[in-house]
Amino acid sequence: MGRKPKENSMNILIQNARVLNPAAGADQTADILIEDGRIAKIGPSIRAKEAKAIDATGLWLLPGLIDIHVHLREPGFEGKETIQSGTRAAAAGGITSLACMGNTNPPIDNQTGVDFILERVAATGIVRVYPVGAITKGMESCEIAPIGEMVEAGAVAICDEQGIMDSQVMRRAMEYSTIFHIPVLSHAEDFALSQDGFIHEGQMAVKLGLISQPAEAEAIQVARDLLLAKKTGAQVHITHISTAESVDLLRFYKKKGVNATGETAPHYLLLTDESTEDFNTNAKVNPPLRTKEDQDALFEGLRDGAIDCIASDHFPWSCEDKNVEFPMAPSGVIGLETLLPVMMNQILERSGMELAPLLRLVTDKPAKILGIPGGVLQEGEPADLTLWDPAPRYKIDKNQFYSKSKNTLFDGWEMKGRVARTFVGGKLVYDYDKGFLE
Amino acid sequence: MSTFKKMMEKTALPLFSNKTILISTGSDAMTEKSKTEKAKISWKSKDCLGLRGVSRDEIELVLNTARSMKEIHSRTVKKVPPLRGKVAVSLFYEPSTRTRTSFELAATRLSADVISIAASTSSVVKGETIIDTANNLRVMGTDVIIMRHNLAGAPHHLARNIDIPVINAGDGTNEHPTQALLDMFTIREHKGQLEGLTVAIVGDIIHGRVAHSDMWGLLTMGAKVRFVGPPTLIPESVKDFGVEVYHNLDEALEGVDVINMLRIQRERMTKNFFPSSKEYSRIFGLNMERLKRCKPGVLVMHPGPINRGVEIDSDVADCKSSVILEQVTNGIAVRMALLYLLVSGEKETHEKTTDSTPSLFE
């Protein structure tokens, strides 16, 4: 998995860090030795003369984050983000592995598309990128895409980002996907209910006089896909859950033994439709921002395990794209560079969770959903690591982002702690003081 | 005294200075005491985008200013000079006869030069953003943009990106603030005040920008608002703002002081909001029989254009209780007031500079 074996062969000794391995609930001050891109040893006072020592006193060492819902926009929308800029933003956010969605132009719906992504990653990327292929050809919800060849080329999951309204198509795709043991990612949206709605149906829609869409537009399709998962035995993962009903449905069907998982995103946890005040187009996301009650249900889902992970749903749009009339504005916010800071601050605080179970939502749990390595700090595992400096206090400044786009909702938010260094396969790829290390 | 002030005195308008007007808190007959209670009120925003968030004092300021403006309407020469030398542009992205004429007459009566632009397509289709269009107009010397757009929030978007006042002449399904101001002006003329009145607004609330602006304005002014129509056309959440919702017109009309009938757009039928205009008329149309059961002195209003025989019967639209045409007349006064309050602000400084700078045109 390492791209530059020469450099990776340099051994590194990170000393005196607070080493957190959320999957095992481990939390200890220790040294960690990286050899040949892998974690060779974790323990107190490791001695390794050949290794380059890094004093990490006062810093926390976490498994590199795994973000399973990212839009890198390449090919087709390189003005908004590229594999190069997006993976740099990820590294600066402490993310060492990400799954990139295939709703590019052209969409990633065959082997050539997957090959292209992986070639661009090898040439320009600095973190691990796992392509997600389309469920249907052209993402047109008609004919199933060649899932087998995409999986063979390296796709780890399939998803049609605009959802699939035709239940027969979804049923067949789920059945067919079981051959390859990959998850079907469900974008749950009933277009008949949602298509005219620009924001969530509630008080804010009245205040702004905007035609809205009900929470049921999401929940109805969540229910459908869980029912189809139950019938077909497919592994289904519900993306960007935003409503209380969706959480209840997922919890219910998991208890019935359905092979289902779900994710939510920081903006659904921390923001409501109130953010659309004054027709703020940055707050236009799909599904739309909901209510306080939905937030409470999402947090409950995080606590009791109904929701399995948190993903950024990083969706870059340029200033020109967003600085238009609200109904014309495209949906999406970026989030790679804010995911870990908001996890460590606002989400930690509001969830009332312990650090370890919270961090599992962005480390081993998402890794398990996609069946990819990483997410644990264990001897023998690839050295994908994030060094977190818990001390600095600062405000998020979108102009400091490495992403090409600035459409964040967290600009100006106060944070404590930041990513100090990021290692992928034992190689230091990002250092807060020095930037990216080519 | 500046030329401006002299002109203002000749017009018998109250003496305004810098968008601030002295208004009495009591009745028109001012006692010595009430004179001393005069409050200094001004229109706070650069723009007029909607009535949500606009204070009671500000609404009263517009309505009181409009009273002075209406007086001009009864003169033989219906023109006063306060906006002389100013340029008002009406930028309409959606067709309109009444609102556009009303705004243009209002600006003309205040002596502004009026340019009228009908943009047939949305900016995105045309390839130029509304911000660029408006900035071109601004650098040509435009002092105010009166904008109608088919998209909710379009004037807000423009107002954020330009430093001249923007007046919302209707934005999609959001607001139509000057219509609500003229509604309130008309009601106040007949009922003396708005506080404590009950106003039924009947029809398509969910897509109704007039309904939205009326709601915010009337609630702010202390009136009670009832929304009446099929549940498909009334968003559930309006109740959270203190509006009463009725699905039965006869129940809704009990004890109301004002009935505002909204135009029903025929295209709503194709999207299943209601099955037919015939059925709508039967259940939610205002006919003479229903009107007779109402409280004596009830006012019948309609923002126009009327679908006679659909939401309102002809005999009701033309009866003594109907103030529909008065609304149209009052629309000019209210728009004059708003233009005056938003645009005349820098007038005096402008006059001073021209006074101190010798000019060929003096």
User: In this complex, which of A198, A202, A209 lies closest to B212 when CB atoms are compared?
Assistant: A209
Most A CBs within 10 A among B46, B130, B173, hence the mutation to make, goes to: B173
DSSP state of A328: G
Domain covering B46-175+330-343 in this structure, CATH number = 3.40.50.1370
Instruction: Specify the pairing of strand A414-424 against strand A427-431.
Output: antiparallel
Q: For position B268, what pLDDT does the model report?
A: 72
Q: How confident is the model over A48-52, as a mean pLDDT?
A: 90
Task: Note whether A180 contacts B: Cβ–Cβ < 8 A.
Answer: no
Residue B120 and residue B160: Cα distance in Å, rounded? 23
Contact B156 A278 (CB under 8 A): yes
**Around Cβ A345, how many Cβ atoms within 10 Å?**
17
Q: Which chain B residues are Cβ-neighbours of A325 within 8 angstroms? A: 122-124, 130, 149, 151, 153-154, 157
List, in sequence order, every residue forming a beta bridge with A136; answer none if it has no partner.
A144
The C-alpha of A275 sits at a distance from chain B's nearest C-alpha, in angstroms, of 15
> Nearest residue on chain B to A322, judged by CA atoms?
B157
- CA A6 to chain CA centroid, Å, is 30
B129 annotated active-site: no
Q: For position B39, what pLDDT does the model report?
A: 52
Which residue from B269, B327, B318 is spatially nearest to B291, judged by alpha carbons?
B318
Task: Note whether A208 contacts B: Cβ–Cβ < 8 A.
Answer: yes
Q: For position A2, what pLDDT does the model report?
A: 35
Which residue from B326, B319, B257 is spatially nearest to B289, judged by alpha carbons?
B319
Q: How confident is the model over A191-213, as a mean pLDDT?
A: 95
> pLDDT-based confidence at A126, cuts 50/70/90?
very high
Q: How confident is the model over A297-312, as a mean pLDDT?
A: 98
Q: How confident is the model over A42-54, as a mean pLDDT?
A: 93
Q: Look at A76-90, A176-190, B26-40, B327-341 and tell me which has the smallest mean pLDDT.
A: B26-40
Q: For position A397, what pLDDT does the model report?
A: 98
Q: How confident is the model over A127-132, as a mean pLDDT?
A: 98
Q: For position A263, what pLDDT does the model report?
A: 98
Task: Note whether A436 contacts B: Cβ–Cβ < 8 A.
Answer: no
The amino acid occupying position B338 is L
What would the two tokens of residue A341 be?
Answer: 């800071």
The verdict on whether omega for the bond into residue A330 sits within 30 degrees of 0, i.e. cis, is no
CATH superfamily label, B177-325: Aspartate/ornithine carbamoyltransferase (3.40.50.1370)
Q: For chain A, which residues make up each domain, given as ranges?
A: 12-61+380-436, 65-370
Q: How confident is the model over A288-297, as a mean pLDDT?
A: 98
Q: For chain B, which residues make up each domain, given as ranges?
A: 46-175+330-343, 177-325
Catalytic residue among B19, B176, B302, B347: B176
Say yes or no: do domains B46-175+330-343 and B177-325 share a fold.
yes
B98 annotated active-site: yes
**Could you tell me where the DSSP H helices lie in chain B?**
3-10, 32-36, 56-73, 98-109, 123-126, 130-139, 154-160, 177-191, 209-220, 249-253, 277-284, 288-292, 314-317, 324-343, 347-356
pLDDT along chain B (362 residues), means of 10: 45 44 42 47 94 97 96 90 96 91 97 89 65 93 96 96 97 97 98 98 96 98 98 96 98 98 83 91 97 97 94 97 97 97 64 39 38
For the domain made up of A12-61+380-436, the CATH class stated in words is mainly beta
* Residue positions counted in chain A: 438
Q: For position B359, what pLDDT does the model report?
A: 42
Rounded to 5 degrees, what angle do the CA atoms A409, A303, A187 make? 55
Q: Which CATH number fits domain A65-370: 3.60.10.10, 3.40.50.300, 3.20.20.140, 3.10.450.50?
A: 3.20.20.140
Q: For position B74, what pLDDT does the model report?
A: 86
Q: What is the mean pLDDT of chain A?
A: 96
Q: For position B8, what pLDDT does the model report?
A: 46
Q: For position B357, what pLDDT does the model report?
A: 39
Task: Note whether A192 contacts B: Cβ–Cβ < 8 A.
Answer: no
Residue B186 and residue B361: Cα distance in Å, rounded? 42
Q: For position A9, what pLDDT does the model report?
A: 55
Residue B79 and residue B76: Cα distance in Å, rounded? 9
Contact A209 B209 (CB under 8 A): yes
List, in sequence order, every residue forming a beta bridge with A54; answer none if it has no partner.
A14
Which residue from B181, B125, B171 is spatially nearest to B151, judged by alpha carbons?
B171
DSSP state of A345: I
Higher pLDDT, A374 or B26: A374
Q: What is the ipTM of this complex?
A: 0.90
